[in-house]
Amino acid sequence: MSTTDPFVLVWNSVRYHTSNMMDQADKHFDSIASSIRDKAQDTSWIPQFPRKLPPPPPPPAPAVAAHGAKGAGVVWGWLKDHKWLVATLAIAAVGGGVYVVKRKRQKGRRRKALKAGNGARKEVVVIHGQPHDPLVKSTAHDLERRGFIVYIAVSSHEDEQVVLSEGKADIKPLQIDILDTLSARSSIARFMAYLRSPAVPFHGAPPHHLKFTALILILDSNFPSGPIETIPLDHWSDTFNTKLIQTLAITQLFLPIVTEFKSRLLFVTPSIPYSLRLPFHAPEVAAVGALEGVIGCLRREVGSAGVQVVWIKTGALEVGGSAGKGSSSNATRADVLSWSPAVRSVYARGYVNAKAVGDVRGTSLKEVNMAIVAGMLDRRVRKVVRVGGGSVAYDVMGRWVPEGVVGWMLGLRGGRRVTENMRGITPPGSRGSSSGGDGRELLEGSVEWERVDKAV
């Protein structure tokens, strides 16, 4: 049907007008309803239910706030009345949390050497230090119990016999004559060939390759002490040769092996005199300070090769069979009595105070052994590890406490003093004063001594 059809046109016109009428009617009815609602809200005689109810009132917030403030005040008052109990519980909670975290970390760490597929030992460790040093012996035995093959570098037949006398099949001497360069390099070449060659633990067993895990360099704490003007130059030379030059020589010889096997380098040194720059310990402070510079340079040199360098600073250690407090005090007094009266009058008091600094309660050598094992095997390695009595406290003092305060604490700048006279001390043997008189002449220029026994 065409759009010009009259019926279609009429139908469209009717639908259009009808739609407009309905829209107008809806708008009119909506307007009337709105007017009625507004009138009903303003009229008082109409019942309440048709009306639009107002929103409910808010809850009584001030009352709740007052109740909460009262409760907080009660809790705060209880905490103030029982502050020691709260402090004890807080310390216990923190300590318990630290202990639990530490135990969980220790369970996830490796504490023993890996074994080969045939059950034999495969990890090798080399220790450089004095074979008769208690720390060297303790470290060697601890690593041997953990499954390592331990070699102790020696330079003489006597030191070799000391190592063999331990009676352990896996604690062996490694002869390296540092004074003979060609011999030392030949020893290192043979040791490298030993590491590269397949090892057969017993007849019929499949061979396995060894792994060089770490080189451990341990400095003993036996250093000359006294005023710089009284220490002979040959003692300085011996100290630098045995403590510093030998350590550098061993490190230099083993660096090719260390870089090839991606091993770790561990330096174990005493820390208290160096941390405090303790007077009358200049040889030790100088040797450890020089070694610190070497460690810093070495860490940056070999870091790119995947070698990690760990510096373990030891404090006071509990060594079995060491001299007691009385013997240490007598040795200190004997040292002072060997000086001339003029030197004694200047340095005696400060020397006694300085010698008393290290007389703190020592830590077991097992703590050092655990630190060494952690430095060898832990994935996350700390560059500096402090272990032993006073290692942390004295290091903090030396770094952050003003020098004048440290000197006062060491008894070098006055302060409270409880003294005793040296007249009651007998000079040892024939070591007398420079005038060559008897014991009375030696004690004429007596000085007052620090009473250090109470500080120990």
Query: Minimal CA–CA distance to 337: which of 262, 434, 195, 409?
Result: 434
In a domain, 372, yes or no: yes
- Give the Cα-Cα-Cα angle 129, 130, 135 (nearest 5 degrees): 75
In a domain, 94, yes or no: no
With a CB cutoff of 8 Å and minimum separation 6, the contacts of 162 are 131, 132, 154
In a domain, 231, yes or no: yes
- What is the number of structural domains in the chain? 1
- How many CA atoms within 13 Å lie on the side-chain side of 128? 27
β-bridge partners, 151 = 126, 172
The Cα–Cα gap between 208 and 123 comes to 11
Q: Is the dihedral of CA 227, 231, 233, 238 positive or negative?
A: negative
Over its length of 456 residues, how does the chain's per-residue pLDDT go in tens digits?
Answer: 455 666 667 677 777 777 777 777 777 777 777 777 776 666 655 555 455 556 677 666 555 445 555 566 777 777 777 777 777 788 788 878 777 776 666 555 668 889 888 888 999 999 999 999 999 999 999 999 999 999 999 999 999 999 999 889 999 999 999 889 899 999 999 999 999 999 887 777 788 899 999 999 999 888 999 999 999 999 999 999 999 999 999 999 999 999 999 999 999 999 999 998 989 999 999 999 999 999 999 999 999 999 999 999 999 888 765 545 556 778 888 888 888 899 988 888 888 888 777 566 788 999 999 999 999 999 888 999 999 888 888 888 888 888 877 777 776 654 333 333 333 333 333 333 333 333 333 333 333 333 333 333
Burial of 22: CB neighbours in 10 Å, binned 0-12, 13-18, 19+: exposed
- The radius of gyration of the chain's CA atoms, rounded to the nearest angstrom, is 42
The length of the chain, given as a count of residues: 456
The number of angstroms, rounded, from the C-alpha of 383 to the middle of its chain's C-alpha atoms is 8
The Cα–Cα gap between 136 and 144 comes to 12
Range of the domain at 163: 123-316+361-397
pLDDT reported for residue 206: 87
Q: How far is CA 256 from CA 198, 253, 308, in A?
A: 19, 7, 14
In a domain, 181, yes or no: yes
pLDDT reported for residue 90: 80
3-state SS, one letter per residue, for the chain? CCCCCHHHHHHHHHHHHHHHHHHHHHHHHHHHHHHHHHHHHHCCCCCCCCCCCCCCCCCCHHHHHHHHHHHHHHHHHHHHHCHHHHHHHHHHHHHHHHHHHHHHHHHCCCCCCCECCCCCECEEEEEECCCCCHHHHHHHHHHHHCCCEEEEEECCHHHHHHHHCCCCCCEEEEECCCCCHHHHHHHHHHHHHHHHCCECCCCCCCCECCEEEEEEEECCCCCCCCCHHHCCHHHHHHHHHHHHHHHHHHHHHHHHHHHHHCCEEEEEEECHHHHHCCCCCHHHHHHHHHHHHHHHHHHHHHHHHCCEEEEEEECEEECCCCCCHHHHHHHHHHHHHCCCHHHHHHHHHHHHHHHHHCCCCCEEHHHHHHHHHHHHHCCCCCCEEEECECHHHHHHHHHHCCHHHHHHHCCCCCCCCCEEEHHHCCCCCCCCCCCCCCHHHHHCCCCEEECCHHHC
Query: Minimal CA–CA distance to 138: which of 157, 104, 166?
Result: 166
For residues 128 and 216, is the Cβ–Cβ distance under 8 A? yes
The Cα–Cα gap between 289 and 304 comes to 24
Q: Which amino acid is at 145?
A: R
Burial of 141: CB neighbours in 10 Å, binned 0-12, 13-18, 19+: middle
Whole-prediction pTM? 0.68
Tokens 């057969």 sit on residue: 200
In a domain, 251, yes or no: yes
Identify the CATH number of the domain in which residue 225 sits: 3.40.50.720
- How many CB atoms neighbour CB 407 within 10 A? 17
The Cα–Cα gap between 278 and 241 comes to 22
pLDDT reported for residue 109: 67
In a domain, 75, yes or no: no
The Cα–Cα gap between 360 and 396 comes to 16
In a domain, 326, yes or no: no
The Cα–Cα gap between 359 and 381 comes to 30
In a domain, 116, yes or no: no
